[in-house]
Structures are given as C-alpha cells and as structure tokens.
Amino acid sequence: MLSILGALGGLILAPFAGGLLSGVDRRLTARLQSRAGPPLLQPFYDVLKLFGKEPKVTNAWLVFSAYVYLIASAFSLFIFFMGGDLLLLFFVLTIGAVFQVVGAICVPSPYSQVGAQRELLLMLAYEPILILVFVGFAMCTGSFMISDVFRLDSPLLLKMPLLFLALGYALTIKLRKSPFDISAGHHGHQELVRGVQTEYSGPYLALIEIGHWLDLVLILGLCALFWHTSGIGMCILVAASLFTEILIDNITARLTWQWMVQKQSLLAGMGFALVNLLWLYVA
C-alpha cells in the first residue's frame, strides 16, 4: 500500500521534474549556441499556453492517440516507481509509441505521414537495444524486477558499462535528439514541419508534451539504476547522461534513416550491447 502511494506521489512530481529538466535542456542548448535562452520555466509556460488554446482537431483518432500516449507514459513510469517488471514496462512504453504513430498516420497531412514512417524506423532502432539492456539487467539480478536491482551490493555500471553506452543510444533516439531527430524536431529545429506532431494542436499537443516529459524522467531513471548503491552516484549519472545528450544534440547533424538504423543502431548500439551480454555470460 505504501509503495503504491509512493509511486503515485512520484508520478505526480514527475511532470514537474521533467518540465524543469526540459527547461534546463533549452537553456543549456541556448548557452552552447552563445545565446541567452528562454527562462528556466519556459516549458511550463508553453504547456499552459497550449492548454488555453482553442481545440482544433482533424479527427477523433488524433485525440484518442494523444490520451493513450500520455496514459501509457504515465503507466510505465508508475511501473518503474513501483519497482515492477522491466518487460511489462517495455511493452507499455511501446503502446504509447505505437499510438503516436497511429495518431500521425490517421490524418491526410503528408508531413505527418512521412513523420509516422520515420517514427516506426526510430522504434525499429531503439527497441532492440532497450530489450537487450533489460536482458542484461536480468542476467545480473536473475529476474526482470526493478526492485531486485536494489538487492545487489555493487553498482551495475561495473558489470554492464557497454550496456550503459547502448542505453545512451536508445535514450538519444527515444528523446528524438540530434542526430536521431528525423521524425520530429524539438525547439525550433524543424524537420518535416513537426513530423509526427504536425497535426496535433492546442491542448492535445500539451498532452503529448507532458508525455514526453514523463518519458524523459523514465529514461533518466533507467540510467540512475546503473549506480543504485549511492544517491550521489545516481545524481552524477543522471546529470552526466543529460549533459552528454544535450552536447551531442548540439554538435551533430541529422542522420539519414539508413545511417541511423543500419550503422548507428544495429552496428554500434546492438554491437555494444551484445559484447557486454557475452561478457556477462562468460564471467
């Protein structure tokens, strides 16, 4: 009972944390480009403004998809805070991603359609990596439960350093950071207008944005699991991953989808993950 309440509390706090982190992201990005940048609370202003806008929708599926995406993101974060099953978390997260594609594909806009195809390619690129990382967790702890990670004595980073790198790849792709922002660009870099999010507007775009914050918190939480033995270690790991993401976002150009799926994801990401899994198997 206490754990359910704790997880619910975490779920309520998560959008605030995600929004703040996204504000830090925009501010750091601006500084890296020698600009002053928006206020730290800018993402909250954006979302509140979007909630106040006139709801204009192309069809009902779009609204449904926005809600399913938000609920799937929230539910997978809830599973994470409960210390639940990694595989279940993975499947719920995938439902959210699939419904974002469904929402983009059910409208006639060509930008949205192409964005949806590219989003499917993104999923093809990050999902195998994510599942291999979870297999690594299972090989170290003997189960897919997140709560079992906390029974270990030494940080997982020592056993799965390459899997952490592979998770970094998956993180960049899932958050649609450059060089993997082929399906929709963030803060003002346009790709296909706004790719999968082109047709969402007003309050429904705000729902998508909040879902994105929850995803950010979830993925950074997964990074934190690699150093579960100390709170300071978790903070260092989360801060380092976030900063590296933002740095890579600013110094790389957008890849073509062939490069992303074949070279970057399959060769590099899966390569790292498989080498680490073999090492765990042998050791």
Largest CA distance in the chain: 59
Of 5-13, 46-54, 214-222, 251-259, the segment contacting other proteins by CB under 8 A is: 46-54
The angle, 0 to 180 degrees and rounded to 10, between the axes of the packed helices 2-32 and 203-224 is 100
Quote the radius of gyration of the chain (alpha carbons, Å).
Answer: 18
Check binding of 252 to other proteins (CB under 8 A). no
Please identify which residue in 3, 4, 6, 35 interacts with other proteins, judged by CB under 8 A.
Answer: 35
Check binding of 16 to other proteins (CB under 8 A). no
In one letter, which amino acid is 69? Y
Contact 181, 173 (CB under 8 A): no
Minimum distance of other proteins from residue 208's CB (angstroms):
11
In one letter, which amino acid is 67? Y
Check binding of 254 to other proteins (CB under 8 A). no
Contact 18, 217 (CB under 8 A): yes
Check binding of 45 to other proteins (CB under 8 A). yes
Please identify which residue in 25, 119, 199, 249 interacts with other proteins, judged by CB under 8 A.
Answer: 199
Q: Which is nearer to other proteins, 30 or 102 (CB)?
A: 30
Check binding of 61 to other proteins (CB under 8 A). no
Minimum distance of other proteins from residue 212's CB (angstroms):
14
The pair of structure tokens assigned to 223 is: 């990074």
Check binding of 198 to other proteins (CB under 8 A). yes
Q: How many residues lie near other proteins (CB under 8 A)? A: 32
Of 36-44, 114-122, 225-233, 275-283, the segment contacting other proteins by CB under 8 A is: 36-44
Minimum distance of other proteins from residue 150's CB (angstroms):
38
Distance CA 177, CA 213 (A): 14
Query: What binding mask, one character per residue, do residues 156-175 give for other proteins by CB under 8 A, x or -?
Result: --------------------
Residues with Cβ within 8 Å of residue 83, at least 6 apart in sequence: 3, 145, 146, 147, 150
Distance from chain centroid for Cα 191:
19
